[in-house]
């Protein structure tokens, strides 16, 4: 955790100052996510970065717990929340798989996170357990195996050792869907912008779940 946190701490301010690369696609994802909201929706966001997405959704839901591994990212997120007088978003430092929640939530969001994890399957299984029956998992994930950038796998380990890149996992959209289905999810929506590499998915936990899916909240 410390190595990952240090990387993102170093890049937090630059990340916060970077403009959104594809505003129409980002707005589409925001709008599609809101179709699953209701007034008492409670959300867990993993890898919230500087909190932009959580703060944009805040007025539509009851509460958001937004987590990130980087203390510097969260410092900026709290500054934004204070400036906007938003009080229904809580920020907590934690690695995604180490998050603990008191009760199941209506939605879990991971925006640009799953491809940065050593074991995405382990987190997806936890997300399934964290959701209420009928809850939704909203994700945006770079699937590099489907693009010409798949060859970055050969330089990524060295770049990571030099501190130039975070951990980066190469997998395809089909592999990601397989991981979600194996965990028990149903794919409700899948979309990818024409020029993008990130696949936006909404996966639902069935209303009636099998006992083998587990119930752990930590």
Beta bridge partners of 89: 64
Residue found under tokens 């930590």: 218
pLDDT tens for residues 20-74? 989 999 999 999 999 999 999 999 999 999 999 999 999 999 999 999 999 999 9
Rounded distance, CA 160 to CA 153, Å? Answer: 11
Query: In this model, does residue 164 exceed pLDDT 60?
Result: no
Which one, of 109, 124, 112, lies nearest residue 168 by Cα? 112
Structure tokens belonging to residue 76: 């900026």
Whole-prediction pTM:
0.88
Return all residues near 101 (Cβ < 8 A) that are at least 6 apart.
44, 65, 130, 217, 218
Q: Which residue has the higher pLDDT, 218 or 99?
A: 99
Beta strands in the chain (DSSP E): 42-46, 63-68, 89-93, 105-111, 131-142, 186-191, 198-204
Return all residues near 45 (Cβ < 8 A) that are at least 6 apart.
53, 54, 64, 65, 66, 67, 108, 109, 110, 111
Q: Is 109 helix (H, G, I), strand (E, B) or coil?
A: strand
Query: In this model, does residue 182 exceed pLDDT 90?
Result: yes
Query: In this model, does residue 211 exceed pLDDT 90?
Result: no
pLDDT tens for residues 107-163? 999 999 999 998 999 999 999 999 999 999 999 999 988 776 554 654 556 545 555
111-to-141, 159, 160, 162 alpha-carbon distances in Å: 7, 23, 21, 25
- CATH match for 2-206 among 3.40.50.150, 3.40.50.620, 2.102.10.10, 3.30.2230.10: 3.40.50.150
DSSP per position, 137-170: EEEEEE-GGGSGGGGGGGTHHHHHHTTSS-----
Domain regions of the chain by residue span? 2-206
Q: In which band, very low, low, confident or very high, does the pLDDT at 10 lie, cut at 50, 70 and 90?
A: confident
Return all residues near 132 (Cβ < 8 A) that are at least 6 apart.
104, 105, 106, 205
């Amino acid at each position: 955790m410390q190595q990952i946190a240090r990387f993102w701490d170093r890049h937090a301010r630059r990340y916060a100052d970077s403009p959104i690369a594809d505003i129409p696609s980002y707005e589409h994802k925001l709008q599609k996510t809101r179709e699953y909201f209701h007034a008492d929706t409670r959300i867990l966001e993993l890898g919230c970065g500087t909190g932009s997405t959580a703060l944009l959704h805040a007025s539509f839901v009851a509460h958001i717990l937004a987590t990130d591994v980087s203390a510097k990212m969260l410092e900026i997120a709290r500054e934004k929340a204070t400036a906007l007088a938003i009080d229904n978003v809580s920020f907590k430092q934690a690695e995604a798989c180490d998050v603990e929640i008191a009760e199941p939530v209506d939605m879990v969001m991971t925006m640009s996170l799953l491809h940065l994890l050593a074991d995405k399957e382990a987190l997806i299984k936890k997300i399934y357990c964290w959701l209420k029956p009928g809850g939704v998992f909203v994700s945006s994930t770079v699937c590099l195996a489907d693009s010409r950038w798949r060859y970055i796998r050969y330089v990524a380990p060295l770049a990571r050792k030099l501190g130039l890149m975070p951990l980066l996992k190469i997998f395809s959209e089909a592999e990601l869907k397989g991981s979600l289905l194996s965990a028990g999810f149903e794919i409700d929506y899948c979309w990818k912008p024409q020029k993008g590499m990130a696949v936006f998915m909404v996966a639902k936990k069935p209303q009636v779940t099998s006992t083998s899916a587990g119930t752990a909240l930590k």
